[in-house]
Structure formats: structure tokens, C-alpha cells
Structure 1
């Protein structure tokens, strides 16, 4: 057989392998979603047993992050819904509803029949209609091992006066997502951005949707001008004039990582990117982080946080210690991400969140407040000792299970893949080195897989699609090899 014939046969073999890998990734994504839907349904069956409203005084909620904290539109109350907690081995999702009484500094738990499924990284907005309504859209559900995610696209309303949940079914709304933002503006709920991840890929959004609170209909908006790039975890607020301000956020560029850092949280990804950048510059001076907070009266306040690099770390001077001694001990929240925020009467409340020490993630349940008009001092409303935080080290068996995750198909499928490779006479794919991580393997062999994907998809295929398919092929081959 001539060289041309060999190349044609080799190309067909590579095409078969690529198609098989693509189908395998699709099956894995579908199976993960079905498994999570079954788990969600199981939790909902437990919630269905609730038949009456039960409100009772309780201690502060358990540690959590990625929930929502909203100010009651008519009462001096804050409403906490949902969130997540990770103890090092297992992820817990919540759909609990708590109410914080600002004047009494007390918590109560409200159990209401037929609540939304458990979720985190959703969005909530309040409107004063009919004694107050809390609207909840989207978010995600994570598997107990924190490696699989189901993204919601449902819309719920909590009628605060009657304490009843209602699911609003209206077509034409945003796709399933988490890490998005939603605000109430002129009898509409405005949804922007967000994030979606599956076994196949991840997507960031910059689309804008409006839900009309009078007609109960969704519409996709097309604002003029150049809009923000796709992102999740940004800040979004309305002004008294009815404008919407969008600030910051995060969008991961490059290949999808092998795994998310366990329960780092979608809204905290920007913080992670910042931390990584700081780690790359260990010998430089202080880093100044500027953040803006928009108060409910539209006032924009700038907060500057200066973080010292190792070159700046030194013992505090005697004059600094004397100054602190004269002023008294200054209290402020510890560094954190994924905290829950709410503003009521010009006071900012910060509850919970997560901070990291090495590989450990500590989830908080403390509550602080600060007057945004004075910006003088933080007040501690609920204390928590981070050292008492539970953290279970990941067991070796868990790591082995993670390594085996996604290995589907059995001996029959493996043999068929080998046959297709033999039929094509193709060269062997770059092998996985001992103990090599997926990210390292992908970095080392990415150009090979992109070239292979391009040869299968043709010269007219878009570059982004080629890269996406190449990464899927590389991941499938990697998982089959380890």
C-alpha cells in the first residue's frame, strides 16, 4: 500500500478514536446529570413530608458559604437561604431558611412546606410586593464528593407575609447556571452572567435577562454598547436613578482543570486567581486591592486593602503597638471569600464564608456589621472560633476513587477502542507518565491533541471548538490510562 493509502487509513482510525472519545464524554456528562437529578429528587421527597409552617428560635446557623442573605423590605430582619459546607471529605447542600432579627440580635428557623431543592451559589432579590417577596433563581447542587454539579434554571418566590414557597414556571428564561447576579429594578428581576460546568466543558455567560414581576414573563435583553465580558462572581447593584452597576468578577481562561479545588466555590474563583498571582510574585512589596461597595442609597465607597508580601513582613514597631493600645483592640472580619452580604438601613452585614489555610478550608458562621455612612468600626454580632472548625483529611481510598472517576465502558469498550486504533494503524497517543497529574499531562501534550482534533474536524472548524474537543479527548485518554 502506498503512503497516501496509509495516511488515509490512519486518518480514519484517528477520526474513529476521536468520535468514540467524544461519545464517551457525552455519556459521562449525561450519567452525572441523571445521578444528581435522582439525588435531588430523593431530598425533595423528604421535603414533601413537611405539611405546615414551623417557626422556632434557634442558635446561629451552622457554618456555610455561597448562600444568600437578604434584607426584609418591610421589617428589621435578614433572610438567609441555602448555602453549602465542606468538611474535607463530604459536601453538604442546604435549603434551610433562617431569619435574623436585627433589633433583638436573635435567629429563628422557618420550616415551610415545598421549598426549593437544596442549592448554593444561587441569587436572591427582595421586593416589597404584598408584604414582601423573596425571589430565588438558579444556583447549583453538588454531589457529596464535591466533584459533580447540577445547575438549576428554576425560579421561586417566597411570600414573606404568608410564609409560602411558590415555583414560577415561565419559559424563555436563562439557562442553568450559578455564580450569576440578580437585582430587582423597576418591577423587573435582572439576571446577568454566571457559570456552568459539566463533564464536557465549562461556560461563562454575559447575557442579560429580565423577568417582569407583573406579567411573569422572561425576556432576553440586548443592551446597546460594549457590554462586560462573560464572568461569574461579579458584584451588581442598582442606583436610585435605575441604572445597574457591574463590577469585577471572574472568568477562567485556558483548559478546564482536572478538578475544581474542592468546594472553593464558584463565586470565590476570582479570589483564587488573585491568590495565585500573589504567589507568583513572592518578593514584591505590598499589593493593594481596591473594591467598591454600593450602599442602598446609591453611595459608592472605595475600600483599599493592602496585603504585604514576604519582603514586607516584619515585626511591628513599638509606635504601632502603642497606637493600637491607645485606640483599643481593633475588630474586623478575618479574610474570607463566598461570604453572604446584605444592607439594611445603611448598615452592611457580613455572614459566614470560607477562608483557607494551606490545603484546609475553614467555613465560618460569624456575623459582623459596619455602618456604611460612618465606616468607623466593625461590630461583632455573632462570634466563632475558627480553630473549632471540623476538617477531615481526605482518605487514600477517596483519592483512589477520584482517580477512577469516569472510567466507564468495561472490557468490551476498551477492546473496541484498541481494535479501532489497530485498524487505523495510528501512532500511539502520548503516554501518561507515572504519578503525572491531568493538568501537567494536558500542558505537555496539548498541541498534539489540538492537532489531532483539527485533523478530524477540518480546517473550517472554529478554534475554540477545536480546543474544547482536544481537551475532552486528552482528558478521556488520561482517565483511561491512570
Structure 2
């Protein structure tokens, strides 16, 4: 579309004067209305055919992978495809959405007691290294385990790492990112949308005066307002992390900046993927992640250092002043990729899963530990408590010796699905931070030889309790979509790693958050996900799980 405009020389009319000008005008009007002979094509039809050919061309180019990193071309092709759809298409009783991580699962209002909305997300397609980003919306009946897929002629571009919330009769979606199939280019959205739960129609909201484009931000509802914190922007050249606070009026659809953040400000440092919740007039924040990029003057490549936070802060929503909170109770270890949701009935923030990377041999070997534990943050007392699971026999979960388990994994005696090793040479020497298990504090030092180099490893203090291997629960993962409805927390999908291979999941679990917490598998992993796990060269079950259940 950026080519030069060509000058066209117009020849004088060859219409006979005896025909008169009026007849010629009528013919032009007939052409405009499409009233011409069947052997001729109107201008409108020519434009329509040209658009169809362009759409088919873009589709072929996408299939051949010629524009896999041209984000503008990909989104333009998607816009053309969306325009072909009807205003609203509702498909009921469809199969559950395909595997993905970084999606949003949102509980609707009390008028719809059994409904949740799954939107967006991304995955690396099995058997390839191509990234798929989704823009589909599914309405989920948790009581009947039924999915309804909704598509529109006008809908948001696909995205992941966004934030969503329900207020009144609407689902709101804020920002997020789009990744090219080769994961070479990234586009961060700055837009905001809302989805009418009655009409199934999307509406784009104004963004004037709002925050910059980003993903990994976090949002919590405060009455008729939404409070947004942080996030990041990374286009492959520039990397920015934010610690600003924005207020969005859900009825007026207006943004207002409340805290600018910045260096030296009293408040949390810039970060993304933290955990937030609102209690009364207080906005509580925990953890998060930040990546620092160092440019080496003697090298064209950049080195990246990731920092995972475990600090907690409170923001007074009347004065907009931050206060750092003390670490109280049995808090989770520092971890990235955890998922969290507010449990309003119990006034607590519930956190699940996550991962911690342990660097060995000066960072040449990385061992990733994926967590399966769940924690509660009491929003009134600001104290952490681990969620203790119970079995059908009404017996409490037993204490587990995580140090002994770590030693067995390090020696290669057992395979634990929640430990991922990214090197062939580290089974004899694994740096592992123990699970926070048992209320008894454990500190131990262990010496491992790594290629002739002795590394001293410190095991962190333990806290909490681990479920027996006979109890079902989801395997460790990151970036799962979770939401809480009444006293139950629902979990969909997420991401794990098998060596250097990233595998997205599609199982669905429910955690009873009542007096006797217990996990229930609503929908197991699909055959495609099972094949991806077994085909990744790693066993998905431990030696003790001969029945093939997803317990550890």
C-alpha cells in the first residue's frame, strides 16, 4: 500500500452528442447501484473480489511461513478473516479449548453462579517450535463441564499475558502481547475491551490518557474501579519494567494515573507477574519478576539476569501511599510463574504453583523445580498459610522428606515430574531447593562434584505439608489459568518444561477451599498432551505412580 500514485491520462469522451448527457448519467448511477449486465462487473464487486484474493494470498503466505515474523501482516490477515464471520457465532457443547498457558480464566458475577470465561493464551505447537497465540473466547459451565465458543466479526486481536475481570454484565480485557510464530517479534497491546455477557458482542474502549502498552501487568477490582500495577514491555530491542499504578473507572471507562513509580520511590520496584488483591481500601501486592539486560561493550550479545521477588507491599487506596509488609507466617519460597486469585468469601489471596531455576556450574546448568503447592495469604492479618490437603479417608496429609527426595533425584534413582533438568550431565550433581514441606525447619548442606568442581548447596527452611502420593493433584506448572467461584478454585492448563521442550497442558482441576481442601480432576490431559509428555523423552509419572494418575 506504500507505492507511488500513478498519473492516469483521461481520454476525451467518445459518446455521440445525440445521445445526450442524461443517459450517460443514468448509466453511471446504474453502475453504482450494481444494475449492469451480467457480463460486466461493478466496482463494488471488483473491490470485494480483490479483498478475497488478498485474504487468500495472506492465508497461503501464512501457511508457507513467509511472513511468520511480520506481525502487521499476520494481524491484517486475521482482521480480514474476522470480517468474514457473522456478527455473533455461538457454538455450544464444543470440545474443551486446546492446551495453552498465559490465558485468563474469569469468574462471572453472582447472576451466573456456574459460569467462567476463558480467553486468549498461547502455546508452542507440539512437534514444532512455532508459537500460537489465541484470541478465542469460551464460556464454561463448571457445573456441567460444558464449553461454548463465541466468535465475532469485531473482536480483539489474539493475545496472552493480558488481564481480565468481570464487573456487572461485562468481561473486561486489558492489554497483553502477541508473539510471532518464530518468536522473533513481539507486539504489546495498549488497548482495552469489554465483552457483553448478554449479547456476546465485543466493544473497544477508549485508551486516551491511559497506561502504555505492556503485558504481565496485574489488575484487581476495587468497587466500581480497577487498580492496575506494573507489567513489562519487550520488543526484542528495548526492555522496560513498570511499577506505576493506574485506576480505571469501570462505568465511565476512564484511566487515571495514581502512582508514577520510578527510581527511589517508596514502593515496590518495577516488575511483572506479581500477585495482587484488594481488601477494603487496601491493595496488597506480593512477589513478581524482573529481567535485567546488560549490554557487553566487547560483545554484540546481551546478557540477561532474572530476579524473582518475595517481598510484600500494601497500597492505601485513599492516600495512594505504599507500605512494605513484614514476611509473616509460612510464606512460599521465591518463585516465578505462579498463578493467584482472590477468594472473596474467606478474605484471602490463593497462590498456586510456580517455578524456581537453580543455576549450577556458573550458570551453565539450570535445574528448574516446578511447584505443586498452594498457599493462602490472609488479607487481614497479612500472614501466609500453606493449604493442607485431605484424603477421602479423612486423614491429614503426612510430612514428606524433601531432602531425601532431592538426594534421590540428584543421584538419578527416581524421576520426579516436577523437576526439570536442562543438561545431560547434571544427574550426578543437581542444585535443588527443597519443597517447603513439613512444619519442622530443616537446614542442610550438601556437597556435589560437578566436573571436578565442588559446589556447596543450601537447602532452604521447610514449611507447610505435602500431600501423600495417593492423593490426586495437578502436576507442577507455571502460568496456569485459575479463578475462584464460591469456595472452589478452578485451574485450566499451564506450561511445563521437559528438558529444553516447552509443553502446554489442557487438564482441568478443582480445589475445594472449604474446611478440608481436596483436589479433583474434572478433565484429564488430552491424548495430544499425553503424547507430548511421553514423546519429550521424559517419564511423566514417578516410579511409585503405577496407576498412571497425576499425583506425585
Q: Report if TM-score (shorter chain) is over 0.5.
A: yes
1:255 to 272, 279, 294: 294
1:220 aligns with 2:363: no
More strand by share: 2
What SS is found at the alignment partner of 2:245?
strand
Q: Measured at CA, do residues 200 and 254 of structure 1 come closer, stay the same or move farther in structure 2, by a change above 3 Å?
A: closer
Q: State how 1:379-390 maps to structure 2 within 5 Å.
A: 379-384=520-525, 386-389=529-532
Q: Which residue of 2 aligns with 1:41?
A: 76
Q: Which residue of 2 aligns with 1:161?
A: 198
Give a deviation string over 1:413-448, Cα, whole Å, max 9, x none: xxxxxxxxxxxxxxxxxxxxxxxxxxxxxxxxxxxx
Contact 1:170/1:218 (8 A) holds in 2 = yes
Shift of 1:215: 2.5
Q: Which has the larger radius of gyration?
A: 2
Distance 2:131 2:370 in 1: 33
Shift of 1:33: 13
Q: Measured at CA, do residues 298 and 126 of structure 1 come closer, stay the same or move farther in structure 2, by a change above 3 Å?
A: farther
Q: Which residue of 2 aligns with 1:311?
A: 407
Shift of 1:54: 2.2
Q: State how 1:451-462 maps to structure 2 within 5 Å.
A: none
Distance 1:391 1:49 in 2: 39
Distance 2:514 2:360 in 1: 32
- Where does the alignment leave 5 or more consecutive residues of structure 2 unmatched? 1-66, 296-300, 306-335, 340-352, 388-399, 415-467, 537-552
Q: Which residue of 2 aligns with 1:320?
A: none
Distance 2:118 2:381 in 1: 23
Q: Which residue of 2 aligns with 1:275?
A: 357
Q: Which residue of 2 aligns with 1:336?
A: 477
Shift of 1:243: 1.8
CA root-mean-square deviation: 3.9
Give a deviation string over 1:289-333, Cα, whole Å, max 9, x none: 9864459999976337986574254879xxxxxxxxxx8931010
Shift of 1:375: 4.8
Q: State how 1:156-235 maps to structure 2 within 5 Å.
A: 156-222=193-259, 226-235=266-275
Give a deviation string over 1:183-216, Cα, whole Å, max 9, x none: 2212112111001102322111001111112322
More helix by share: 1
1:78 aligns with 2:113: no
Q: Which residue of 2 aligns with 1:243?
A: 282
Distance 2:502 2:386 in 1: 25
TM-score of the superposition, structure 2-length normalised?
A: 0.55
Q: Which structure has more RCO (C-alpha within 8 Å, separation ≥ 6)?
A: 1
Q: Measured at CA, do residues 244 and 274 of structure 1 come closer, stay the same or move farther in structure 2, by a change above 3 Å?
A: same
1:118 aligns with 2:158: yes
Contact 1:205/1:231 (8 A) holds in 2 = yes
Distance 2:115 2:252 in 1: 29
Shift of 1:373: 2.6
**Pairs aligned (count):** 342
Q: Which residue of 2 aligns with 1:102?
A: 142
